[in-house]
């Protein structure tokens, strides 16, 4: 766990280990995401697409046909309209 202090104008430094983990550099922008349970998450505002590689891969997940994907998309699209 990392702790920093908020200055009188609302600024706080991001600890070096956190900056390294998020690959943040001077001038980068960050986003604060508030979850439904009230927790706040910090993430880079821009993410290199290479970091997303295999993010959704699960070895136990069976591949779907294009037809099954289209059916799922159509079902979800119908629910939102």
- Residue 3 is predicted with a pLDDT of 92
Q: What is the pTM of this model?
A: 0.53
- CA distance linking residue 23 with residue 20, whole number of Å: 5
Q: Note the pLDDT of residue 79.
A: 66
φ and ψ at residue 52, rounded to 5 degrees: -90, -5
Domain boundaries, the chain: 16-80
pLDDT of residue 6: 96
Reading the chain (81 residues) residue by residue, the pLDDT tens digits are 899 999 999 999 999 999 999 989 999 999 999 999 999 999 998 877 776 777 778 888 888 899 999 999 998 887 655
Q: Cα–Cα distance between 22 and 43 in angstroms, integer?
A: 7
């Amino acid at each position: 766990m990392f702790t920093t202090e908020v200055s009188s104008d609302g600024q706080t430094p991001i600890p070096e280990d956190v900056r390294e983990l998020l690959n943040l550099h001077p001038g980068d922008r960050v986003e604060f995401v508030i979850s439904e349970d009230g927790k706040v998450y910090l993430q880079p505002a821009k993410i290199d697409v290479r970091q997303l590689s295999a993010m959704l891969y699960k070895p136990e997940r069976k591949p779907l046909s294009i037809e099954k994907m289209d059916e799922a998309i159509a079902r979800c699209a119908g629910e939102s309209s």
